[in-house]
């Protein structure tokens, strides 16, 4: 990769960012698409996010941003335009700088998860799903799974009110049967074809589990959005139970591919 004055700059904005290997994936993929493009990390503290986005508005050779923890929800209130996916998720994980300096926010968590899931051999059409987490990632995944045609979606969250709110929004938008519960009142896991952890539990290698997999069917698929060098405790437990699994990194490559269309293609705010 040769960086010149004509190179489009792209930053992964979060904190901490030193451990990120995603810039390598972005740079390799965008180079393969023929773009003069350079991605690197930008370590931004929460108190400085608004200033960072204000600076991006004024720098013409910044193509866009990937927004990661802990900024996805805050960034949604700081951009100028939103795609439908960003509005539904209530969070932003990609930002495109328009030629006039305005910022369009997008969310590819749901679409990336869906592509990763299908790439892992699971077709969600007609399936019964238990989804843990009603934050930005959980919201994005819930809408994508519902739109894809799951027959039953149970949303579980520590804040039960948030789960009920999301279930009502998903049902209203897609017409599927979406229900809600607290994480302490989960039903028999054998009733589900797909179990998804869309919380941060399991991040950092501490051994924490977002839920007990007792009773899960060996024919079920268990997916975790947490990305780590090794299997998360949930994925390790699922493998021991004989389940098929999808690791968090499986939703990263599809998002990189989809972001190329958003940044250089026809996706509109």
Same structural domain for residues 151 and 22?
no
Sign of the alpha-carbon dihedral angle for 213, 214, 215, 218: positive
- pLDDT, position 228: 77
Q: What are phi and psi of 191, to 5 degrees?
A: -80, -5
Domain boundary among 49, 83, 107: 107
Q: Does 3 reside within a domain?
A: no
- pLDDT, position 206: 62
- pLDDT, position 24: 94
Q: What percent of the chain has pLDDT over 90?
A: 86
pTM over 0.85: yes
Same structural domain for residues 83 and 208?
no
| C-beta separation of 175 from 150 below 8 A | no
Helices (H), the chain: 22-32, 49-58, 72-76, 84-89, 109-119, 136-148, 160-174, 233-240, 252-264
What's the total number of domains in the chain?
Answer: 2
Q: What percent of the chain has pLDDT over 70?
A: 97
Same structural domain for residues 87 and 127?
no
Q: What is the CATH number of the domain that holds 228?
A: 3.40.50.720
- pLDDT, position 144: 96
Same structural domain for residues 120 and 234?
yes
Same structural domain for residues 93 and 117?
no
Q: Is 177 a catalytic residue?
A: no
| 232, 234, 239, 242 alpha-carbon torsion, rounded to 10° | -170
Q: Does 152 reside within a domain?
A: yes
Same structural domain for residues 121 and 237?
yes
Q: Does 2 reside within a domain?
A: no
Q: What is the CATH number of the domain that holds 94?
A: 3.40.50.10860
Give yes or no for residue 135 having a pLDDT over 80: yes
Q: Average pLDDT, stretch 68-76?
A: 93
Same structural domain for residues 85 and 114?
no
Domain boundary among 59, 89, 107: 107
- pLDDT, position 17: 87
Provide the mean pLDDT of the chain. 93
| C-beta separation of 156 from 131 below 8 A | yes
Same structural domain for residues 210 and 238?
yes
pLDDT, tens only, 205-218: 666 889 999 999 99
| C-beta separation of 43 from 18 below 8 A | yes
Same structural domain for residues 132 and 98?
no
Same structural domain for residues 167 and 46?
no
- pLDDT, position 208: 82
The residue to which tokens 């995944």 are assigned: 141
Same structural domain for residues 69 and 143?
no
pLDDT, tens only, 3-62: 999 999 999 999 988 888 899 999 999 999 999 999 999 999 999 999 999 999 999 999
| C-beta separation of 194 from 244 below 8 A | no
Q: Does 261 reside within a domain?
A: no
Q: Does 267 reside within a domain?
A: no
Buried b (16+ CB within 10 A) or exposed e, 161-186: ebbbbbbebbeeebebebebbebeeb
- pLDDT, position 204: 63
Give yes or no for residue 85 having a pLDDT over 80: yes
Domain boundary among 107, 142, 163: 107
Domain that holds residue 38: 8-107
Q: Does 269 reside within a domain?
A: no
| C-beta separation of 80 from 103 below 8 A | yes
- pLDDT, position 105: 98
- Residue 67 has which token pair? 């927004």
Same structural domain for residues 246 and 115?
yes
Give yes or no for residue 267 having a pLDDT over 50: no
Q: Which residue is catalytic, options 72, 127, 239, 253? A: 72
Q: Does 22 reside within a domain?
A: yes
Give yes or no for residue 229 having a pLDDT over 80: no
Q: Does 193 reside within a domain?
A: yes
């Amino acid at each position: 990769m040769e960086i010149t004055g004509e190179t489009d700059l792209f930053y992964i904005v979060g904190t901490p960012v030193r451990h990120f290997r995603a810039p390598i994936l972005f740079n390799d993929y965008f180079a393969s698409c023929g773009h003069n493009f350079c991605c690197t990390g930008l370590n931004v503290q929460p108190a400085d996010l608004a200033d960072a986005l204000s600076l991006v508005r004024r720098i013409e050779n910044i193509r866009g941003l990937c927004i990661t923890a802990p900024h996805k929800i805050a960034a949604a209130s700081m951009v100028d335009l939103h795609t439908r996916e960003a509005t539904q998720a209530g969070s932003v994980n990609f930002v495109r700088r328009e030629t006039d300096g305005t910022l369009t926010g997008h969310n590819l968590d749901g679409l990336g998860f869906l592509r990763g899931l299908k790439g892992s051999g699971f077709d969600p059409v007609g399936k019964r799903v238990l989804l843990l987490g009603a934050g930005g990632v959980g919201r994005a995944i819930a809408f994508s799974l519902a739109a894809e045609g799951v027959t039953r979606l149970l949303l579980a969250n520590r804040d039960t009110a948030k789960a009920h709110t999301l279930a009502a929004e998903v049902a209203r938008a897609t017409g599927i049967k979406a229900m809600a519960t607290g994480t302490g009142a989960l039903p028999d896991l054998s009733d589900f074809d797909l179990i998804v952890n869309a919380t941060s539990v399991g991040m950092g290698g501490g051994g924490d589990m977002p839920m007990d997999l007792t009773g899960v069917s060996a024919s079920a698929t268990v997916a975790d959005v947490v990305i780590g060098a090794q299997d998360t405790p949930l994925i390790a437990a699922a493998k021991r139970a004989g389940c098929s699994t999808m690791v968090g990194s499986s939703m990263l490559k599809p998002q990189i591919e989809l972001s190329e269309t958003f940044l250089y293609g026809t996706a509109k705010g």
